[in-house]
């Protein structure tokens, strides 16, 4: 594969996002439909795949103090701009949010789960006003708009990437290609990854200043658990990574650099690497190459897993960070394969039960495992082909993981959604 193809892939998959990407993608789809209609609708119906619905039930929507789809849809219909892509709610200030809250009472949206959706990531918004209707459909990727005949359409008023996104299906990688690219790429080409890591660090610092989610990041950062964890680089890695997750899952109006359509994945593959680099005073070259390894490894794994599944995305992202940290520890390609095998032997069964504040707990588990896996890998201690789904060949090992997430956990996904939508919640 040409280096230009890999760089284009990185630029498509590592982009800024505000808020959890599933409800934000719904807002994006509604915003595009409203733009096609040309006015504010008085009727909105959205049809969602079960995976999108699952990830939008309990997550905070930026700057609203509210969770879930109704407010995301209302904001998309009133203030959202599709040209902003995953920052579609960038203009949702206090006045806009107040108006959207009133709007959602006057124009309640109809939300339906499409169990026969053509893709695990599928959003269709139909809006109407005075007998006129318009619609928009997102499929396969969070900013990929399709027409009724499944053609790709771009936004009318922007330079958009969404006309290019489906090309990522044809840009298939191997771990060797990932490593070779990260070791040889011009640093100027991937400097945006460092900017993204700094953006994610700022999101974490936002969480330290307030009461977000379960407060896990702030707890670790303030040293309340220092008698157990200590004031160490390991604790700092955990604090910053889960802190950024705390903020975005609770609806803080902060952008993060996402990976493969997920802000939490972007946080989990870049921040552990960046904080490790800062703690150990790594130079810019090593930091940039480590961030490239981390982000591109996560993209590679997601290629065969798919955008959404019953397998928690932090498993994928933290596997990427394990590679970046292994490199910063002095490891080469061989040690990277060991780190990945350790990750897959450990947390390959972590389920995704929707986006929510508790995602910070899973992020912490993934990142802690990444540091452990890297530490073992440097010592050449690793799971081998006699153990579980691990094979001698690293790419087959990765595909074993993604096959389980993509095929084997299909029923698990249905069961998770059934439990989530039928559980009793005491008020």
Rounded CA-CA distance 37/99 in Å is 20
Q: Is residue 201 part of a domain?
A: yes
**Statement to judge: residues 209 and 315 lie in one domain:** yes
Q: pLDDT tens digits for 122-178?
A: 999 999 999 999 999 999 989 999 976 544 444 333 333 343 344 444 568 999 999
Separation in Å, CA 398 to CA 5, 73, 164, 304: 22, 37, 26, 9
Domain-ending residue, one of 151, 168, 185:
168
Q: Is residue 61 part of a domain?
A: yes
Q: pLDDT tens digits for 299-358?
A: 999 999 988 888 999 999 999 999 999 999 999 999 999 999 999 999 998 999 988 989
Rounded CA-CA distance 159/403 in Å is 35
**Is the Cβ–Cβ distance between 115 and 50 less than 8 Å?**
yes
Choose among 62, 51, 104: nearest CA to 87: 62
**Statement to judge: residues 164 and 57 lie in one domain:** yes
Using the predicted structure, report yes or no on whether residue 424 has a pLDDT greater than 80.
no
**Statement to judge: residues 213 and 153 lie in one domain:** no
Q: Is residue 54 part of a domain?
A: yes
Domain-ending residue, one of 120, 153, 168:
168
The tally of domains found in the chain comes to 2
| Region 55-79 average pLDDT | 92
Burial 184-216 (b: 16+ CB within 10 A, else e): ebeeebbebbbebbebbbebbbbbbeeebbbbb
Using the predicted structure, report yes or no on whether residue 420 has a pLDDT greater than 60.
yes
Rounded CA-CA distance 408/399 in Å is 12
Domain extent, residue 116, equals 19-168
**Statement to judge: residues 337 and 262 lie in one domain:** yes
- Residue 156: predicted pLDDT: 35
Separation in Å, CA 366 to CA 125, 230, 344, 345: 35, 19, 11, 12
Strand, coil or helix: what is 123? strand
Q: Is residue 3 part of a domain?
A: no
**Is the Cβ–Cβ distance between 317 and 266 less than 8 Å?**
yes
Strand, coil or helix: what is 182? helix
Domain-ending residue, one of 168, 201, 224:
168
Choose among 43, 28, 146: nearest CA to 79: 28
Q: Is residue 9 part of a domain?
A: no
**Statement to judge: residues 218 and 361 lie in one domain:** yes
According to DSSP, residue 92 is labeled -
The CATH code of the domain that includes 306 is: 1.10.4100.10
Q: Is residue 13 part of a domain?
A: no
Residue 312 tokens, joined: 């928690």
**Statement to judge: residues 333 and 263 lie in one domain:** yes
- Residue 226: predicted pLDDT: 65
Q: Is residue 1 part of a domain?
A: no
**Is the Cβ–Cβ distance between 42 and 107 less than 8 Å?**
yes
**Statement to judge: residues 142 and 238 lie in one domain:** no
> Which segments of 1-138 does DSSP mark as H helices, in order?
3-13, 21-37, 50-56, 69-78, 94-106
Strand, coil or helix: what is 330? coil
**Is the Cβ–Cβ distance between 275 and 201 less than 8 Å?**
yes
Strand, coil or helix: what is 81? coil
**Statement to judge: residues 312 and 324 lie in one domain:** yes
- CA angle, 189 as apex, 188 and 193 as ends, to 5°? 95
- CA angle, 273 as apex, 269 and 279 as ends, to 5°? 155
Can you give the three-state secondary structure of 290-322, one letter per residue?
A: HHHHHHHHHHHHHHHHCCCCCECHHHHHHHHHH
- Residue 1: predicted pLDDT: 66
| Region 5-23 average pLDDT | 92
The CATH code of the domain that includes 87 is: 3.30.1330
Q: pLDDT tens digits for 27-44?
A: 999 999 999 999 999 999
- Residue 335: predicted pLDDT: 98
- Residue 222: predicted pLDDT: 85
**Statement to judge: residues 99 and 205 lie in one domain:** no
Number of H helices, E strands in the chain: 17, 10
**Statement to judge: residues 161 and 187 lie in one domain:** no
Q: Is residue 10 part of a domain?
A: no
**Statement to judge: residues 184 and 326 lie in one domain:** yes
- Residue 155: predicted pLDDT: 39
Specify the residue for token string 């808020």: 19
Q: Is the pTM of this model over 0.75?
A: yes
**Statement to judge: residues 134 and 176 lie in one domain:** no
According to DSSP, residue 141 is labeled S
The Cβ of residue 412 has, within 10 Å, a number of other Cβ atoms equal to 18
- Residue 252: predicted pLDDT: 87
């Amino acid at each position: 594969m040409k280096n230009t193809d890999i760089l284009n892939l990185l630029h498509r998959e590592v982009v800024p996002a505000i808020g959890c990407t599933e409800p934000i993608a719904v807002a994006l789809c509604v915003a595009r439909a409203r733009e096609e209609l040309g006015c504010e609708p008085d009727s909105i119906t959205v049809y969602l795949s079960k995976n999108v619905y699952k990830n939008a039930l309990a997550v905070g929507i930026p700057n609203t103090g509210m969770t879930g789809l109704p407010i995301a849809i209302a904001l998309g219909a009133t203030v959202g701009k599709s040209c902003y892509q995953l920052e579609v709610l960038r203009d949702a200030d206090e006045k806009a949010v107040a108006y959207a809250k009133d709007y959602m009472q006057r124009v309640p949206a109809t939300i339906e789960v499409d169990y026969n959706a053509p893709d695990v990531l599928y959003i269709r918004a139909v809006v109407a006003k005075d007998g006129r209707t318009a619609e928009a459909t997102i499929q396969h990727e969070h900013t990929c708009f399709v027409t009724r005949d499944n053609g790709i359409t771009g936004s009318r008023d922007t330079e958009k990437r969404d006309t290019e996104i489906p090309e990522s299906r044809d840009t298939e990688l191997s771990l060797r290609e990932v490593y070779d690219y990260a070791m040889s790429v011009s640093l100027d080409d991937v400097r945006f990854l460092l900017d993204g890591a700094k953006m994610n660090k700022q999101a974490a610092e936002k969480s330290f200043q307030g009461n977000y989610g379960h407060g896990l990041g702030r707890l670790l950062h303030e040293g309340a658990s220092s008698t157990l964890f200590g004031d160490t680089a390991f604790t700092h890695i955990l604090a910053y990574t889960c802190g950024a997750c705390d903020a975005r899952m609770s609806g803080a109006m902060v952008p993060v650099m996402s990976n493969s359509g997920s802000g939490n994945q972007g946080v989990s593959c870049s921040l552990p690497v960046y904080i490790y680099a800062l703690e150990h005073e790594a130079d810019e070259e090593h930091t940039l190459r480590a961030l490239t390894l981390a982000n591109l490894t996560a993209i590679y794994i997601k290629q065969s897993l798919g955008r959404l599944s019953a397998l928690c995305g932090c498993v994928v992202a933290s596997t990427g960070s394990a590679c970046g940290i292994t490199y910063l520890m002095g490891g080469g390609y061989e040690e990277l394969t060991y780190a990945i095998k350790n990750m897959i032997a450990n947390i390959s069964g972590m389920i995704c039960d929707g986006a929510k504040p508790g995602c910070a707990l899973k992020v912490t588990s993934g990142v802690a495992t990444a540091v452990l896996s890297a530490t073992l890998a440097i010592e050449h201690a690793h799971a081998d082909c006699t153990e579980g789904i691990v094979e001698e060949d690293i790419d087959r090992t990765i595909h074993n993981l993604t096959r389980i997430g993509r095929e084997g956990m299909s029923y698990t996904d249905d069961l998770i959604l059934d439990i989530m939508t039928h559980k009793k919640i005491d008020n």
